[in-house]
Structure 1
């Protein structure tokens, strides 16, 4: 009986040690730099684009897909759409780091009917930074505003822009199709014209002390932010993703500052790019700043409060703030910074402000795919800190908790075993 008890304790201690070692990150893993590549959504399905409609593979709303885009030619993907839902298919192109790109290089995305008639075009390019980074364009079908509003088969078409000036690498793609249902009958009287006026003055940025907050490496790992001042560090070529919960009636604005550096000299155009995207990953607005080594700041152009009727506005930035949900802030530091100012990393400050009176949104007839895409809870909007989207951070946090528990169990077990060995077996009490 005593021997069996000692064996049990030894097994418990050994298991605790093994479990602890398994959860303790290697020093190299802790020291490894982040932001070295785009984080695709976990479990994304691989799908090959077809050079023609005959071989196009189907993609459906609510799922995320991975593909790749050649330097030349088009890719087709098959869509089956109903007659009532608005459809958004964001396509994020991820060129390899170190690739040569021009300002006009990028991607063009469209949705076409089976006869090749286009419903919508969208494009995204790298701009003045001349630095490869993830760029997103959205294929879109708005019912009631498009010739393509019938229930039928459609095709998503993805192609490169100005590929002759780029290195001829294939670019990775992430596709995240989504649907927005029609309004319920009770919401049929929703405004069909955009709000006539809104506060377009650039808001005063928050002035409190900054808090450290590392961004994620993709949409799926974006770090949640609320109103406030946030600090991070980027090496040349890094792109970080944040998300800001913005409810109906609320107005989001953000700015960025790039720290001064004591080394290097010269001028880098488009050194830091700050982009705002809506919950369907549709581009809202962006801004880039040039850099000479001194501290520089910039801010996004103001956009109206989030309202359903904004979709009827003509300016694209106003049109894009059409639903509530997580709005994305994407920050990129140009690779060309390394040529003039070294490898960094460089300090970046983000100032996020959310104003406006919150109100209930329109009632939809069904639910979007993926579910909850156009929803913000009051708690999320108040805090904006629903936790880092970075799975590595979560794993380390859970691992740290589990490691402490395992070590405690191990120490208790060894102490009990030593005490029992020292005092000898106890006689049973009768």
Structure 2
């Protein structure tokens, strides 16, 4: 499971125009994009890579895959903070085999907000019935390109670069490249066959968001920087144009839901479409579902629709959102506030409240035959709490110092005390056993050599 940052008191830090708005992995590797399959850099599952994508053309990367594991590659594209984008500006990710046959294709765009933000699409080589062309071991290619759809032209302007020919009369503007983060993942085969049909019935009732005193947190700036949260109510602050990342552990059989509230502004001066957006991603960073709401200066709230429990067989379902709920592990809630909110209502920070519910009952996993890469990505670590009674979900005990789960320092003391006590008992046991053996040896010696 990806290590997440511990929740801390929320503060918002403004970003300079044009500065990267995304926190790349600390151990990220460089992967220069190739313009064709020749020279494409190999991506090792479990590692994270940084690259860039030009406005025109395709970027190629290579995968060397076995014939027993599923492989996934998420690509997060990061436009410049000052980019001018259209509705269809985004990124497309395709996976092909060595013969050029398509294994998968996914596209993600900025949408109606037109606000620069990290955009994530994914590709896959899955060992599923009916896809014989992508089941063999061998070389596969990840192909990334920008998408842009503008009425009347078929292409978007994208973000404008600076340099010769940029914006001059009679010349086409030069679009700045987008930075990329690529995260390949390997999912091993199962020890024994599992069901190959998706869920037919599940509790689709709209969950009631938890109500409690919010706990202050500070959202991360990237997937590997995501702040760990669990069921409860969380308070943060967000700037126009900012994207915040949160990580929620979801085990097999559990159902995750979330709602997000945006506080009111100091003035009412217009309206911004899809101003507040929230998207749920699965452990391999594939989109599950998203929601967005417009903003006119008064407080607003939006929530994800009901989602089925996490299950291995979900991959055989007919809907995309259910297919994506195929893994246990860290699910990501990514919240973005459109940059246009600052133009309309002011550049200061806005209050944000995140309400997370994890329902259902934990079930046994499918039983993998080998380790995943990265290791533990489909694990949740410590067992999650069962849902609490209505009205108490997310409540933080006063003794927990403001964080669910109690005071880590006291936990450390308790664990240390238990460990020290266990060590002392072990030493005493060994000492006693040694003393008894010595006494027995002396008695045997006395019996064999009696004194007069």
Equivalent residues of 1:91, 1:176 under 8 A apart: yes
d(CA) in 2 for partners of 1:215 and 1:272? 15
Question: Deviation at 1:201?
Answer: 1.6
d(CA) in 2 for partners of 1:358 and 1:74? 43
Specify the alignment match of 1:414 in structure 2.
Answer: none
Residue 213 of structure 1 pairs with residue 217 of structure 2: yes
Normalised to the residue count of structure 1, the TM-score between the two structures is 0.80
Residue 138 of structure 1 pairs with residue 138 of structure 2: no
Question: Deviation at 1:379?
Answer: 4.0
d(CA) in 2 for partners of 1:105 and 1:298? 24
Inter-CA distance 33–165: structure 2 relative to 1 (3 Å threshold): closer
Equivalent residues of 1:84, 1:181 under 8 A apart: yes
Structure 1 stretch displaced more, 171-180 or 137-146: 137-146
Q: How many residues align?
A: 355
Query: What is the aligned counterpart of 1:166 among 158, 163, 183?
Result: 158
Question: Deviation at 1:31?
Answer: 9.0
Q: C-alpha deviations, 1:248-277, integer Å up to 9, x for none?
A: 000000011111112241000010110000
d(CA) in 2 for partners of 1:31 and 1:369? 34
Query: What is the aligned counterpart of 2:79 among 79, 95, 100?
Result: 95
Query: What is the aligned counterpart of 1:71 among 55, 72, 85?
Result: 55
d(CA) in 1 for partners of 2:322 and 2:384? 24
Q: Of Structure 1 and Structure 2, which has the larger fraction of its residues in helix?
A: 1
Residue 236 of structure 1 pairs with residue 228 of structure 2: no
- 1:78-157 equivalences under 5 Å are 78-145=62-129, 146=131, 147-157=133-143
d(CA) in 1 for partners of 2:386 and 2:348? 34
Equivalent residues of 2:275, 2:337 under 8 A apart: yes
Where does structure 2 lack aligned partners over 5 or more consecutive residues? Answer: 1-10, 149-154, 160-174, 388-393, 397-407, 410-452
Normalised to the residue count of structure 2, the TM-score between the two structures is 0.76
Inter-CA distance 31–289: structure 2 relative to 1 (3 Å threshold): closer
Higher relative contact order (CA 8 A, sep 6+): 1
Q: C-alpha deviations, 1:276-310, integer Å up to 9, x for none?
A: 00000000000110011111111011110000000
Structure 1 stretch displaced more, 375-384 or 317-326: 375-384
Specify the alignment match of 1:309 in structure 2.
Answer: 313
Specify the alignment match of 2:342 in structure 1.
Answer: 338
Residue 327 of structure 1 pairs with residue 331 of structure 2: yes
Equivalent residues of 1:68, 1:173 under 8 A apart: yes
Q: SS at the partner of 1:153?
A: strand
Inter-CA distance 134–243: structure 2 relative to 1 (3 Å threshold): same
Residue 45 of structure 1 pairs with residue 29 of structure 2: yes
Equivalent residues of 1:226, 1:382 under 8 A apart: no
d(CA) in 2 for partners of 1:308 and 1:144? 13
Specify the alignment match of 2:377 in structure 1.
Answer: 373
Q: C-alpha deviations, 1:312-355, integer Å up to 9, x for none?
A: 00110000000100000000000010111010201111110000
Specify the alignment match of 1:176 in structure 2.
Answer: 183
